[in-house]
Structure 1
Amino acid sequence: MHTLLGLLLLPVLATAQERLARVGTGAVERAPIIEEVPLTGTLTSPRVAQVSTSVAGLVEAINVDVGDRVEAGDPLVRLDRELEQLALASARAATRRARAELADTRRRLEEARQLRARQSFPETEVRTLEAQVGMQEAEVERLAAEAQRREARLRRHVLNAPFAGVINRKLTEAGEWVEPGTAVVELIAVDNLRLDLRVPQRYFPRIDADTRLQVRLDAAPERELAARIGTVVPVNDPSARTFLLRAWLDAPDIPLTPGMSARAVLQLDTGQRGLVVPRDALLRYPDGRVSVWVVEDAGEDGTASVTEHNVETGLAFDGRIEIRSGLEPGLRVVTTGNESLQPDQRVRPVGAD
């Protein structure tokens, strides 16, 4: 009779076991304590230039428009060149004439030296011709330099992109007269963008090139991007009590543009070690109490009981929370399914790490 009753109760017991609350667990472990500092920043370009002319002239053509991407050396603006071309042609002609005159004087000087060697030509005439050669050589150099200057001015009538980037603004139009130094377009480099962050000055001594930085762009908040600190500018902003931290992102598959906003977390090593648990293990109550459920009395059937422990928390980082009191290392805490647990309730831990 008892055997038959036991057989009848087996399915009921099995069903009860299956209905036990399934909970995920995590370890209470000792680890380095990290302080996380939330920051906001902006992607900035390494090069921004209002490209200007170095000569005066009439704008003949603008080859770009706002939003156009250009490479270094691409022509942006062309000024009217007719008068400069004529001036260059005149300078080259004057140079050719001076060289011809110099060649003739050198020929006459050579003949005079030969006659002087036979005592049939005055020494003073030879000296005069030598002086003429010297002056004409100087004149050729001056005219050649003038022709080169005209060539350089003519080249400056075509304004080329000093670096690769995107046209952000057009500041002139065809038909306008521009003076030297007049900005005609604004060019922004869009490669090798850097993230500029303002950091409270009290953290300055604790930051170096190895400090970890986690970044999420507002344009792609689901992605956590790798970043490396490149520059720490030690000049404070006295009004905000901050200094500039500049970092470079590794995001080859995300289109980046200057002006994008970002949120970052600076992870600073405190130099201390302490107990940590997964963030999901914590339960916070309206009265300010914080607790975790601890797995105890694990049985051979894969079940265990749980007890609630009040804890004092510290810093939060990397999905974990520092526990300053209330737990011991080596315990296991409930991380999922802990919202409705009761003291001494039997549970079935699953997916333990």
Structure 2
Amino acid sequence: MHRDNAEAVCMKTLLSRRAGRAVLTTVASITALSVTLVSGALFSEKAQAAQPQMPPMPVEAQIVQPEDLVRRIELVGSLNANESVMIRPEVSGRLAKIHFAEGQTVNAGDLLFSMDSSVQSAELRQAQASQGLSEVEYKRASQLLSNNAGSVNTRDSALAKLRIDQAGVELAKERLAKMQLSAPFNGIVGLRQISEGEYVTPGQGLVNLVAINPMRLEFRVPEIYLSGVAMGQMVDVTFDALPGEKVQGKVFAISPEVDLNGRNVKVVAELPNDDGRLRPGLFARVSLQLETIKGALMVKEEALVPQGNAQLIYTLVDGKVDIAPATPGLRERGRVQIIQGVKAGDIVVTAGQMKLRPGAAAAPVNLPKAQ
């Protein structure tokens, strides 16, 4: 029995020692783990502190400034002579003389053609002789009547004869005048279609006469823009035939009717042509100013980023990217008006948007002056 008790005591002692060693081992493990975690945290903080910050993303940008936006429409038209006429005879006869050189500038009243007028001149002399005789007879009849030696009937007959002969003289003068063809206005004669000595007939075209200073510009404006067109309005005109040149004209006529086929209105402007370089028939490109919008906010077209049916615009606020929807308006030569989405003074990104995210740091590499 004493032996059994001794063995039990020894067993308890052994178990107690093993339990103590297990506790010590657990405590040591926990302590080591804590030291490892603390060391790892300290190392991570040092590593993060040592890692360099990402620099702001370089982008191109512009500063939005209000400006006056001129609303224009671009149209096409053609030049016509301010006046143009084909010189035609009213009577038949032989063409005796041509008094101009082709392409010559002439003034109103200058003689262009002379037709053989020998017959008409003879008829005028005959009519004048008859008129002279009638005048003598009328004076004699009037004198006799005043002396109670003639009759009223004789005097009245003499007066009627005089008036007929006077009309005959006027008729002969008119016939003679029609044998000469003169310029009805200042202009340039074209290429003649007849030679001296040829026989001409009434209505036959002889030569064209055009007045080209000023010129007449005709173009059509769609009816939706009609409210922006007014008398005296200025237009800028360029010509494919004269590259680099711009001529300014003034509207002087607007058709009172709208063309039902094209739904447009014919407009006529006057263009100066002092040097004579403009010619009838030239194709013209017309820039017509409709209105001026004060304080418009304009950005480059590249500033707008399409997303579905919407347009987005990227701005920089304190060096951070902000993305917002924008409402575009009028467009003009690579620029677009922003009706809603930006305000004056905003920095708008114009290139590099695809690499940006909201809140990302970005820095403009070029800030052009406000236009």
The CA deviation string for residues 283-303 of structure 1, in whole angstroms up to 9 with x for no partner, is 779999977775765xxxxxx
The CA deviation string for residues 249-268 of structure 1, in whole angstroms up to 9 with x for no partner, is 35656732221221112333
- The alignment's C-alpha RMSD in Å is 3.8
2:16 aligns with none
Shift in Å, 1:324: 3.8
The letter for the 2-side match of 1:314 is: G
Of 280, 283, 291, which aligns to 1:261?
283
In the superposition, the TM-score normalised over structure 2's length comes to 0.69
Of 26, 29, 42, which aligns to 2:66?
29
Shift in Å, 1:82: 0.8
The CA deviation string for residues 29-83 of structure 1, in whole angstroms up to 9 with x for no partner, is 2766x65322101111222112222222211122234422211111111100111
1:322 aligns with 337
Shift in Å, 1:159: 0.3
1:191 aligns with 213
1:277 aligns with 298
C-alpha distance in structure 1 between counterparts of 2:330 and 2:232, whole Å: 21
Name stretches of at least 5 consecutive residues in structure 2 with no aligned partner: 1-57, 357-361
Q: 1:77 to 1:295 in 2, by over 3 A?
A: farther
The letter for the 1-side match of 2:141 is: T
C-alpha distance in structure 2 between counterparts of 1:254 and 1:283, whole Å: 46
2:247 is the counterpart of 1:225: yes
Q: 1:171, 1:186 within 8 Å by CA — same for their partners in 2?
A: no
SS of structure 1 residue aligned to 2:329: strand
1:64 aligns with 100
Q: 2:83, 2:210 within 8 Å by CA — same for their partners in 1?
A: yes
Greater shift in the superposed pair: 156-165 or 318-327: 318-327
Of 345, 349, 353, which aligns to 2:363?
345
SS of structure 2 residue aligned to 1:37: strand
SS of structure 1 residue aligned to 2:124: helix
SS of structure 1 residue aligned to 2:134: helix
Shift in Å, 1:327: 2.1
Q: 2:104, 2:189 within 8 Å by CA — same for their partners in 1?
A: yes
Of 183, 186, 200, which aligns to 1:178?
200
Count, aligned residues: 308
Q: 1:274, 1:323 within 8 Å by CA — same for their partners in 2?
A: no
1:208 aligns with 230
2:278 is the counterpart of 1:241: no
SS of structure 2 residue aligned to 1:345: strand
Q: 2:194, 2:206 within 8 Å by CA — same for their partners in 1?
A: yes
SS of structure 1 residue aligned to 2:224: helix
SS of structure 2 residue aligned to 1:235: coil
Of 81, 85, 99, which aligns to 2:117?
81
C-alpha distance in structure 1 between counterparts of 2:63 and 2:313, whole Å: 11
2:154 is the counterpart of 1:132: yes
The structure whose residues are more often helix, as a share, is: 2
C-alpha distance in structure 2 between counterparts of 1:24 and 1:249, whole Å: 42
2:133 aligns with 97
C-alpha distance in structure 2 between counterparts of 1:35 and 1:350, whole Å: 24
2:89 is the counterpart of 1:53: yes
The letter for the 1-side match of 2:138 is: L
Shift in Å, 1:145: 1.7
C-alpha distance in structure 1 between counterparts of 2:273 and 2:332, whole Å: 23
Q: 1:80 to 1:211 in 2, by over 3 A?
A: closer
The letter for the 2-side match of 1:161 is: A
Shift in Å, 1:172: 2.9
The letter for the 2-side match of 1:198 is: R
Shift in Å, 1:109: 3.3
C-alpha distance in structure 2 between counterparts of 1:314 and 1:145, whole Å: 74
Shift in Å, 1:206: 4.1
Q: 1:228 to 1:333 in 2, by over 3 A?
A: farther
Larger of the two Rg values belongs to structure: 2
The letter for the 1-side match of 2:298 is: V
Shift in Å, 1:127: 5.4
What percent identity do the matched residue pairs reach? 24
